Amino acid sequence: MVMTSVSGHLLNYEFVNKNESRKWQTYDPRQLFYEPVRKSCPDNYENIKKTLQREIRGCDGLIIWTDCDREGENIGFEIIEVCKTINRNINIYRAKFSEITEQSVRQALNNLGVPDEHTSKAVDIRQELDLRIGAVFTRFQTVKIQSALPNNVANKLVSFGSCQFPTLGFVVERWRAIENFIPEKFWKLQVNHTVGNESTDFLWDRVKIFDKDVCKILYNMCLENKTATIVNVETKPKTKWRPLPLDTVELEKQASRLLKINAKTTMQIAEKLYTAGIISYPRTETNQFSNDINLVNLIELQKVDPNWGTFAQNVLSQGPNPRRGNKSDQAHPPIHPTKHVTNLVDMERRVYEFIVRTFLACCSKDAVGKETTVRLTIADEGFHASGLIVTERNYLDVYPYEKWTSKYIHDYQVGNTFTATKVEMLESETSPPELLTEANLITLMEKHGIGTDATHADHIETIKSRHYVTIEGNKFKPTELGKGLVEGYDMLSLPMSKPHLRANFETDLKLICERKKSAETVLRDQIEEYKKLYDKILSEQNKLIDSWKRRLQNYTWSEQPLHTGSTSNSNATSRNTPSTSRSSRTDSGDTVMCHCNRPAVILTCQKSNKNKGRKFYKCDECKFFKWVEDSLPSNVQNPYETPPNSGGSNGANTNRPTTSRQPRHCSLCRRTGHNITNCPARGV
């Protein structure tokens, strides 16, 4: 058996008439709805393609071992397409697996199936539609805003994507709710009873009243007779549920909330752990373990750990009993550890530890306690207080991310009377909602069907890198550009930033996978729907542009900081992170992809030479390198470049000198302006 590999998507969709369609100022974007497209192999993937074609000549069968999800299925069919150019009659097989362990690989090899053409077709349709929609609306927005605001957004790319815009819409909608919020004062009563060192606060059954005079009357009635009578004491069992088995969305949300690691980085780490055989496949919608998963063997692996080994042994002695969620993608189990390791560091260690602790916790038992609720009356007004005794911590012993502690309450009996130590009338006011955290945003995206568990992080990174949002205190705040784009479309009652357009499309993609709807029908219907929206935009573009002008007239691109949780070293400053998604392009159709077919990292050259300050794309895995300005259309300025005479950090002009001599090319990256000894592609 001969084994070889690919790196993400081998083929990309592109417009057949790509040279003509690149003329943004003269080419009608509307034509891109129907401009012929084709799948072709990028130049930087030709060697991989040739390797496949060379190796397949001596084979009588082809086994596809790509990831077992939609994207993996599509990559498999790209491999098949390339191989069949050499051997049209070769036998094709599909290996199904969810973890990279010897047992899983052997089981897959002994149970080979066939590739799923319908699942692959769904990805083809998604890629083609994202290319068309992204190209049409990105060009419209970019050209119109450049023309309307030449001094504000001149030569900047203003991208559109059918996933990124609803994601932005959620952020803007929450910002609006805060801006439009009008606080309202309210009043409430509270009773305190102190016996020795034991103090208990009783909360008002009415909760709060918005009429101060009414509250004052009730307060005075309680002050006139502060005698409290216990009218009810109820003790009942209380349970704190252990976590559900871990799916992708929950991993992203909890890592962001508990570990303070953003979703993008979390998925990169999870992908690395999976590739190393340390955890199961990290892109899964399943939160229930099937009966064929050997939980005992998985828990056995963790017995040797000094931090949770004893807990793992206790789970085994009681018998693992994981909670069952209500989601299953019928493809992959929940995320779980497949190996015990101790050599991980920093964020990798923290993500791995969270996965292990969640797995052990979900296989354990719920925490158990007793809750006592005491009710009293003063002047016919009801108040209540609760106490808790935790009797069995169970899963909490291995899950430090949640707290549940006992709360003492005095031993009250029905009929007891006492004089309240204190009766208070407290004033407060309603609070606006908070800006969205990343966990909040992912929750909304999942609820409304925007993207998939594998792409949520990518769409969030896109609206950050496009300067549509900034991060303030780990919360998302829209920039003036982000607000302006959404408000303009909303003013025309256009659903560009609303979730239902993309959600309906995602539903259709599932129907394609389930063989309930044809791919051709879905593509045709989606193109027609977006074409109608585009025509309406054109008919009212003056109103739209006026709206953008009002919002953006004082906006300056460089005033919007890009905060993406980046890291830096002595040679380069990261402005983005590579994607774990294997999609061939983002939904705006404009992201530069590396040889791995992932969005390339944007870095800044910090070496003390003539290239200092220049931005470039780079990928450490495939050694991809490209200057940012070399990847943009001729009418679009480098969005990461400091404009001449703009000051920057020291007011220096960043323009590089030109020369009339024929420039020499670096033998490593084939670019000019340096040689191999000081090439930015080395050591950054």
Does 293 share its domain with 206?
Answer: no
pTM for the model:
0.78
94-125 per-position pLDDT tens digit: 999 888 888 888 999 999 999 999 999 999 99
Domain count, the chain: 5
What pLDDT, in 10s, does the model give residues 205-229? 999 999 999 999 999 999 998 999 9
320: Cβ–Cβ under 8 A, 6 or more apart, which residues? 295, 296, 299, 363, 364
From 522, 540, 559, the end of a domain falls on 559
- The alpha carbons of the chain give a radius of gyration, in whole angstroms, of 30
Q: What does the pLDDT read at residue 68? A: 87
Q: How far apart are CA 106 and CA 248, in angstroms?
A: 26
683 in a structural domain: no
The three-class DSSP label of residue 540 is coil
Q: What's the CA gap between 369 and 239, in Å, rounded?
A: 6
- 336 belongs to a structural domain: yes
Catalytic residues: 281
User: Looking at the structure, do residues 37 and 106 belong to the same domain, yes or no?
Assistant: yes
Position 664 in a domain:
no
Q: Is 161 exposed, middle or buried (0-12, 13-18, 19+ CB in 10 A)?
A: buried
CATH number reported for the structural domain that contains residue 72 in this entry: 3.40.50.140
User: What phi and psi values does residue 670 have, to the nearest 5 degrees?
Assistant: 70, 20
Does 405 map to a domain?
A: no
Residues contacting residue 229 through CB under 8 Å, at least 6 positions apart: 376, 377, 378, 415, 416, 417
Same domain, 235 and 252: no
Cα distance between residue 255 and residue 244, in whole Å: 15
What does the DSSP assignment read for 178-214? HHT----EEEEEEEEEEETTEEEEEEETT--BS-HHH
CA atoms within 13 A on the CB side of 13: 24
Asked if residue 419 and residue 446 are part of one domain, the reply reads no
Weakest-pLDDT range from 212-221, 339-348, 578-587? 578-587
What single DSSP character describes residue 335?
B
pLDDT higher than 70, residue 359 = yes
pLDDT value, residue 597: 52
pLDDT at 631: 54
**What's the mean per-residue pLDDT of the chain?**
85
Q: Are residues 575 and 483 in the same domain?
A: no
**Domain-located, residue 399:** no
- Distance CA(26)–CA(410), nearest Å, equals 80
The whole-angstrom separation of Cα 120 and Cα 130 is: 15
* DSSP code at position 45: G
pLDDT, residue 615, reads: 74
Q: For 500-509, how does the pLDDT look when each residue is reduced to its tens digit (9 = 90+)?
A: 999 999 999 9
Q: Quick one: 569 and 554 in the same domain? A: no
* Residue range 159-197, pLDDT digits in tens: 999 999 999 999 999 999 999 999 999 999 999 999 988
From the list 77, 223, 173, the residue with the least C-alpha distance to 497 is 173
Q: Flag whether 6 is in a domain.
A: no
3-state secondary structure of 487: helix
Residue 333 lies in a domain: yes
**Which tens digits make up the pLDDT trace of 413-452?**
999 999 999 999 999 999 999 999 999 999 999 999 998 8
Same domain, yes or no: 459 and 422: no
**DSSP letter (8 states) at residue 109:** H
Task: Convert the pLDDT of each residue in 8-19 to its tens digit.
Answer: 899 999 998 877
Which of 83-87, 215-219, 326-330, 600-604 has the largest mean confidence?
A: 215-219
Same domain, 309 and 451: no
Quickly count: other Cβ atoms within 10 Å of residue 113's Cβ.
Answer: 11
Tokens for 672? 């000019």
What gap in Å lies between CA 129 and CA 479, rounded to an integer?
Answer: 28
pLDDT at 557: 64
What is the domain-level CATH number for residue 452?
1.10.460.10
Q: In this structure, are 450 and 548 located in the same domain?
A: yes
Query: 496, 526, 559 — which closes off a domain?
Result: 559
- Domain extent at residue 46: 12-115
Whether 260 and 338 map to the same domain: the answer is yes
Cα(131)–Cα(124) distance, integer angstroms? 11
Whether 667 is covered by a domain: the verdict is: no
Instruction: With CA atoms as reference, report the closest residue to 90 among 113, 58, 68, 66.
Output: 58
Instruction: Give the residue among 652, 556, 559, 671 at the shortest CA–CA distance from 613.
Output: 652
Q: Are residues 625 and 571 in the same domain?
A: yes
208 in the same domain as 59: no
